[in-house]
Amino acid sequence: MAAPATGGDGPIGLYEGIVTTRAMRRFSDEPIDRSELEAILRAAQQGPSGGNIQPWQFLVVADPAVRRKLGEIYRLAYERYEAALLASMPPHRDEESAASWERTLAASRHLSTHIGEAPTIIVVLMPDIDMTLTDDDGELDVGTPYASVYPAVQNLLLAARSLGIGGALTTVHRVRQDEVRALLDVPARFQTVALVPLGRPTGRFGVAPRRPVESVTHWDRYGARQPFGTRPPVFER
């Protein structure tokens, strides 16, 4: 297995790995070692889930011919998705948000036409789960079963980051989910809840643009905001 990712000051720590893991949609053609994939999947398997039900299955798509076919399905799904998205979007707030959106759109379009070239694609599956509970007072809303899968996907991406491997979580393939199931022999009782291309990124890891954390944090009750007394750490790698 490859050594952990490093920067100018040596191996990255856990906190740095978390805050510098960002969606990477452009990859070199360098393959991912089997030992690296196994390490990434072991980390994903340690993700938390409600009641420890561990509802996920990981389908690793490594065969180049299958990846190409999956990539074509994804491209067609993305074309439909983008058209619907652009038709429904409100105007941008300002030039900065418009520029940010254009960068994201360009990266997403690149992924849509090149995802089949990623060295590895992991399709995350979840069986249909009925979480409906009732008592004498009626139905209990305990949330969605997807909440028990996506932490494992984040673990997967963080483990990949620690090895210098990039990835991105996408669900756009679900626009043509039946075709994905047919290509990969996935039983109908499984949802394909995430598709994660993995590879050596051609870009750099780093802190992604985000709104100030003060603007999304409330103390004790909604709307009660407080300034943060610390500055965010800076990672120069």
Q: What is the mean pLDDT of residues 206-219?
A: 93
Q: What is the mean pLDDT of residues 102-108?
A: 93
Strand partners, 170: 195
Calculate what percentage of the chain has a pLDDT beyond 70. 95
Q: What is the mean pLDDT of residues 153-178?
A: 97
Q: 177: exposed, middle or buried (C-beta count within 10 Å: 0-12, 13-18, 19+)?
A: middle
Q: What is the mean pLDDT of residues 195-211?
A: 94
Higher pLDDT: 38 or 132? It is: 38
Instruction: Please identify which residue in the block is written with the tokens 């398997």.
Output: 45
Which domains does the chain show, CATH number per domain?
A: 6-86+106-212 (3.40.109.10)
pTM above 0.85, yes or no: yes
Above 50 in pLDDT, residue 8? no
Give the pLDDT of residue 10: 58
Above 50 in pLDDT, residue 149? yes
Give the pLDDT of residue 125: 98
Q: What is the mean pLDDT of residues 33-43?
A: 98
